[in-house]
Structure 1
Amino acid sequence: MGTIALMILAALIIGYSKTALGGLAVVSVAIFATILPAKESTAAILTLLIVGDVVACWHYRRDGDWSLIRRLLPAIVIGLALGSAFLRIVNDHTLKLSIGIVILVLVAVQLWLKTRAGERMSTAHEHPVAAWSAGTGVGFTTMTANAAGAVMALYLSAAGIEKRRFVGTNAWFFLIVNLIKVPFSVGLGLMHWRDLGRAAALSPAILIGALLGYATIKRISQAHFDIAVLLTSAVAAAGLLLRA
């Protein structure tokens, strides 16, 4: 498959992930990492993710849970700063391996909690330690590998919120986070004007993917959505481990 076709496929997946299953975005990250140099791919994918965020926020403009977003945001900057520092000292292999393992552990913990709790909703996500840990983890993983969708999905899954509210909260949260990341990426010398042109050219594919994702959410049951969230998080982790 040619480079342009791969970029279009990655854009379609980003659009779909932003309006349906966030963990799938890591597949697009992997695609871009195979066709561009590692550092260049980081900025290239960030611009596409922001386009996807804008589209998703339009679809779910009334569905964000701002109490959850406010709970997580203060720790984001800490995670972004740690991620920026980590990028300067660690190699790609160690980075991808560690993040992939962490996500797999989180999936296993979430499965265990669901088995133990049954139908009773856990309130562990409301604890300040959980919120600060999740926020820092999201900031760190999004800065280092654009792989925070799986971490955020697991946190929202633990919160037990309804699927539309889940996707809306995820959309608004990552629009804010990815915009915050832009100065960090510019400061690291990763983002250039050509990334904006590429994002503009691929925007139609992102929109098509977003519409497909929106149609999926309207038809999928809550139980199947919860299972899909865990499965895509596991796929995200496996993708990072295979790239390591």
Structure 2
Amino acid sequence: MDTITLWELVALAGAATLVGFSKTAVSGANTVSLAIFAAVLPARESTGILLPLLIVGDMFAVRAYRRHADWATLVRLFPAVAAGVVAGTVFMLWADDAAVRTSIGVILLVMASITVWRRRTAGQQAREQKGQGEEEGRGEPAGEGRQRARLKAGSYGVLGGFTTMVANAGGPVMSMYLLSAGFRKLGFLGTSAWFFLIVNVAKVPFSVGLGLIDRHSLLLDAGLALCVVPGAFLGRAVVDRINQRLFERLVIAATVVGGLQLLLR
């Protein structure tokens, strides 16, 4: 903390504000925050500092969308997510800062690619689901059997658990899963809000055990948490008025730049 410059602190404050905004408006924006934290701070420690801020944002998201969660989906996901978190913890036990920085950079680029693919398929999926319900709730793809649904939940769950433990970057993975499962707007937001609140809180003991969260990191979090609050309120206020396509393009571009910066650093 003693080595953080004023401009770096400003960058962290902006990233913390974006955390709140991403939790109540556009989840993909969180990858930009991840890139900023990993660029300003040691990459390994940045994951532990960012985690409490994510939990603060999750609390606001749950407060806003708590009634719209699909608990059957959450119960189906959690065992696989737990396995992914354990795998990520094992990786973090031996990974040094350079390995974590490289991993975060690769994960960011992969997540950006997933988001681009998701956008290209979302239009086709929306046309297929048109007239099948309102924006709240969900709908399973036609013909998807229980075995295939369990396999999909397991694969996405393990990947989401690993990426969220190593890089706090499980958002795009889970977004793609929820969209592919036919979730509409409010159902998507409510299920995602509860999912990340529960998973991020469960990650705290692992992060403490790895030394990623301590009294020094919490002191920095105490100041940055004040920036999460206005971001969360701003996201809630503008969620229905966002030009989603333009914003996602900016997020993807910033994520790619951040990922490349970490890989070339």
TM-score normalised by structure 2 residue count:
0.79
Asked if 1:197 is matched to 2:205, the reply is: no
1:145 matched residue in structure 2:
167
- Structure 1 stretch 138-147 or stretch 123-132: which is displaced more? 123-132
Amino acid at match of 2:227: A
1:107 matched residue in structure 2:
115
- Structure 1 stretch 234-243 or stretch 77-86: which is displaced more? 234-243
- Structure 1 stretch 33-42 or stretch 132-141: which is displaced more? 33-42
Asked if 1:185 is matched to 2:207, the reply is: yes
Amino acid at match of 1:11: A
Cα distance change of structure 1 residues 142 and 61 upon mapping to structure 2, 3 Å threshold: same
Asked if 1:85 is matched to 2:90, the reply is: yes
Which of the residues 104, 125, 128 maps onto 1:120? 128
Amino acid at match of 2:182: G
Shift of 1:19: 0.3
- 1:17-45 per-residue CA deviation (whole Å, 9 max, x = no partner) reads 00011111121111112222122211100
Q: Aligned partners of 1:242, 1:141: CA distance in 2, in Å?
A: 19
Asked if 1:243 is matched to 2:262, the reply is: yes
Asked if 1:69 is matched to 2:74, the reply is: yes
Asked if 1:18 is matched to 2:18, the reply is: no
Which of the residues 60, 65, 70 maps onto 1:60? 65
Which of the residues 38, 49, 54 maps onto 1:49? 54
Task: Calculate the aligned-residue CA RMSD, in Å.
Answer: 2.7
Cα distance change of structure 1 residues 231 and 68 upon mapping to structure 2, 3 Å threshold: farther
- 1:2-24 per-residue CA deviation (whole Å, 9 max, x = no partner) reads 13212210111000000011111
Task: Tell me if structure 1 keeps the 8 A contact 2:19–2:53.
Answer: yes
- Structure 1 stretch 135-144 or stretch 68-77: which is displaced more? 68-77
- Indicate the percent of aligned positions where both proteins have the same amino acid: 40
Amino acid at match of 2:103: L
Which of the residues 219, 225, 236 maps onto 1:214? 236
Amino acid at match of 2:202: I
Local SS of the residue matching 1:127: helix
Task: Tell me if structure 2 keeps the 8 A contact 1:103–1:233.
Answer: no
Local SS of the residue matching 2:211: coil
Unaligned runs of 5+ in 2: 1-5, 130-139
Cα distance change of structure 1 residues 131 and 13 upon mapping to structure 2, 3 Å threshold: same
Q: Which has the larger radius of gyration?
A: 2
Shift of 1:142: 0.6
Shift of 1:96: 3.1
Q: Aligned partners of 1:187, 1:46: CA distance in 2, in Å?
A: 14
Task: Tell me if structure 1 keeps the 8 A contact 2:31–2:108.
Answer: no
Amino acid at match of 1:160: G
Amino acid at match of 1:21: V
- 1:157-209 per-residue CA deviation (whole Å, 9 max, x = no partner) reads 22332223222221111011111111111121211023323222222311100
Task: Tell me if structure 1 keeps the 8 A contact 2:84–2:159.
Answer: yes
Cα distance change of structure 1 residues 140 and 236 upon mapping to structure 2, 3 Å threshold: farther
- Structure 1 stretch 100-109 or stretch 161-170: which is displaced more? 100-109
